[in-house]
Structure 1
Amino acid sequence: MDQNLVNSFMLDVSGLLRGETRQIDVDTSVSLDDKDFDVSFPQSPRIKGKVVNMSGYIEFSAEITVTYETVCSRCLTPLKRELTLDLKAPVAENLENMDNDEYIIPENEVIDLGELVREMIILNLPLSHLCHEDCKGLCTKCGKDLNDGDCGCVRVEKDPRWKILESFFDED
């Protein structure tokens, strides 16, 4: 295990902040609690990258790979997807004259990789998941998956009061 990893997701950057170290390589898995997400993680997200001190400018760059399981938003078919995220952010000792959103601020000279990964996944997971772009979903009457064929249910006609609006969408 890397000597700079306090545990599997806490990274000690004290040497970088004091200028004693030039680079720390990171290659670890980070455990996440599924309750924060509408997806489940069959395996822990992987984070691979480095923290580099370039003459006083410290930057953390990493690639986060996460496999998640969910269901199609339209037809409820189980899905397994992989998401790869690139993270690049400067590291600062304190917040004086800096916007907090742009910088990673180590607490007690330690970066919480778990929190970073959690935030990145929350910000980058799609709001809805589709098995394919033209998914037809489920029948609103009987619940049959319409991707497997028509169910034979009688479709309700449109409200005649809205009929006049259809003329706005005619291709003629």
Structure 2
Amino acid sequence: MGAMAMAVPVVRRHECASVYLIHAAGTFENGLGVVGKPLAGNLTDVLPSFAAVGLDSSAEYDATVAEGGQTMGDLIANLSSTCPEQKFILSGYSKGAMVVHATDLSDELKSHVCGISVFGDPDDAKGLAAGRGLADVWPIVDPVIGVNVAPFCNDGDAICDGGLDIATHLAYATDGSVTQAAAVLAAACA
């Protein structure tokens, strides 16, 4: 699987859980990472049949984004073949948000994705990677911001908003963004 490998910190495991969170962690993070852990915890509280896994990150930026997108897509395909009724939530923090954008799915697999959340997304319109033109590219059928897609970019965030404040980029796990995302995702995936 190259530089990006799957970790297996499962929050709550059900054989063929109704909803499965796949979270791509940020740079130098492993497993669910600093944002994925509280997101999974919030979703565990509201979704009765739920499981979660995190994709590990490595320091190689461009290569891991492409590899991460491939890994995420392969995981969805494998889980869908085993559990055809399963729905997926895709999530990513920082570089992990770029992995979500880079996940190329068939229309059939996109129909299994019920919700997406990204935090501190470099592909955002004002983000560091805005030139890639992926701000509005989502691996889901009929993406609607606030309904089945929940993007979070704090004002002044140095990574997604063109600002100079790295502290705002590090705040998503504790500033209420995760709780808001879980509410949107739970409603979209219930």
Category of TM-score, reference length = shorter chain = under 0.3
Per residue, is there more helix in 1 or in 2?
Answer: 2
User: Which one has more relative contact order, counting CA pairs under 8 Å at least 6 apart?
Assistant: 2
Task: Identify the structure with the greater strand proportion.
Answer: 1
Larger Rg: 1
| TM-score for the superposition, normalised by structure 1 | 0.27
